[in-house]
Structure 1
């Protein structure tokens, strides 16, 4: 029979261990032929999530929401959206990051021609976008509405079909690269290029801003669809199943099962449940021992969050007297 992950260590194993923290250790300098520009800072955040710099922002309500997560990913790291939000609010923060930029927006926000200008303005303001494609019930592109179309409008009760640009729409076919799209955008002096299939159904959108961001942030950490990476924290208490489902639906890249004591039955069972039901990376913690790390890996965790808070912000170790130096 396999040993239980919840067996208790002997007393001497709990108290007779020497511990060193960062202030106790120095590295001796040695000769080197490595120049700073030759250093590769790429690393893994979890089994299948790669970062370009080894930095992640904490899942704390004073630290990480969409704004910081976007900044972290643009520079090659990742932000973990905190869980001190209701489910829909946290899911919306994830959505803001995933929609902030993209090589090609695969599922662009659209409106039907019979929607009102007021609805369009509200939508554009909510998602901070300057235009929206207009599609019919079969998702065929029938027009595009931009801030320029609304600039001198006073009657926002009118239908979009009365104001949108529908003649001479500039589009590109499926398979268009960002480089090709940049040429088309520049030639026609437009900011948005709808991507359509053979039946003129809208399948994507490439914008000038996304191309500019790709040039400005060449080391950004992105998913396979060119969207910024983002993680989100969950616990193990009431409502966590609904929270996980909502975050996965918004395409979160990593779920961080974030607790003060990761070597507990609830955390191990939550890791196993999420991995059994969703195709999403899972990082779990916090832990301070090898046994705890092995237990979470055995449950299916793709990454382990190591360390129990010793400082002025996260004070678990100070208050509870539990942990190891770090």
Structure 2
């Protein structure tokens, strides 16, 4: 019996008229999601959570958050990806001035951010708290209003471009620029890090709001549909109906139900036959996971 290793195989070089810089690896994951790097990370609990999903999207691919989590925890992972960077953060995390300083510290740690806008009950921007404000604070039970920056806030009006925002940030030597409407209500947040990331990762997979794209896996039946609803609400760009055998009545019903309720990209699988792929497409899937292996166990 003979076997071969990679060292036994050689690809013979041939003439090429194409330069590497001229090659595009861009493709479509679904008709509405374009990837610059045709790689999707597996929806496995040993593979994809927020950290990998962020890294995948920054390089032009996409990650799929696994479903071996509570709905709340999986939604949290999706939320981390969607909030990790943006052209303008449309719904930034905010706190009220009455909340304790400990809550601001917890929010910054949870989302890996260095500052939080402070708004009142009407949504009006009343201050901002950053690491600089809390760095030497020992007492964390005091209200945020006691340490936040409330005067001489630098803001920008709705419609401010990233180029204009970069100029304002540089001129005032600040890292966060709240965007407010004519009434002073907070409508968004632009940060230095987001502008830098746009330059650092030019091929990133982003949605129409400039946020990184992310997928999330669900199971079948009512639990799968309820999970899908929460994930779509959190901003998941694609729902993956993820099962070992995708050519089954339960998967087909789940795909059809999600498609009838929500305008969302759907991937379904896994299948190993043309008939399975055709049935999933008829049920409403935008893309199919192909290939049934022995699994990881």
- 1:128-155 deviation line (CA, Å, top 9, x unaligned): 2111111111111111111111122222
Counterpart position of 2:112: 128
- Cα distance in 1 between the residues matched to 2:139 and 2:41: 45
Counterpart position of 2:25: 41
- Cα distance in 1 between the residues matched to 2:12 and 2:138: 70
- Cα distance in 2 between the residues matched to 1:30 and 1:261: 42
Counterpart position of 2:154: 170
Q: Does 1:180 align with 2:164?
A: yes
Counterpart position of 1:265: 249
- Cα distance in 1 between the residues matched to 2:136 and 2:46: 41
- Over the aligned positions, Cα root-mean-square deviation in angstroms equals 1.8
Counterpart position of 1:301: 285
Question: Is the 2:221–2:254 Cα contact (8 Å) retained in structure 1?
Answer: no
Question: Is the 2:97–2:143 Cα contact (8 Å) retained in structure 1?
Answer: yes
Segments of structure 2 that go 5 or more residues without pairing to the other structure are: 1-5
In the TM superposition, 1:97-176 aligns within 5 A as 97-176=81-160
- 1:37-88 deviation line (CA, Å, top 9, x unaligned): 1111111111211111110111111111111111100000001111111111
Question: Is the 2:224–2:254 Cα contact (8 Å) retained in structure 1?
Answer: no
- Cα distance in 1 between the residues matched to 2:46 and 2:222: 23
- Cα distance in 1 between the residues matched to 2:229 and 2:142: 38
In the TM superposition, 1:1-12 aligns within 5 A as none
TM-score, structure 2 as length reference: 0.93
Shift of 1:238: 5.8
Shift of 1:27: 9.3
* Equivalent position to 2:62, from 53, 78, 81: 78
Question: Is the 2:268–2:285 Cα contact (8 Å) retained in structure 1?
Answer: yes
- Cα distance in 2 between the residues matched to 1:261 and 1:159: 53
- Cα distance in 2 between the residues matched to 1:32 and 1:163: 64
Question: Is the 2:225–2:254 Cα contact (8 Å) retained in structure 1?
Answer: no
- Cα distance in 2 between the residues matched to 1:168 and 1:122: 26
Question: Is the 2:169–2:175 Cα contact (8 Å) retained in structure 1?
Answer: yes
- Cα distance in 1 between the residues matched to 2:171 and 2:63: 37
- Cα distance in 2 between the residues matched to 1:119 and 1:60: 32
- Cα distance in 2 between the residues matched to 1:81 and 1:117: 32
In the TM superposition, 1:186-265 aligns within 5 A as 186-237=170-221, 239-265=223-249
TM-score, structure 1 as length reference: 0.85
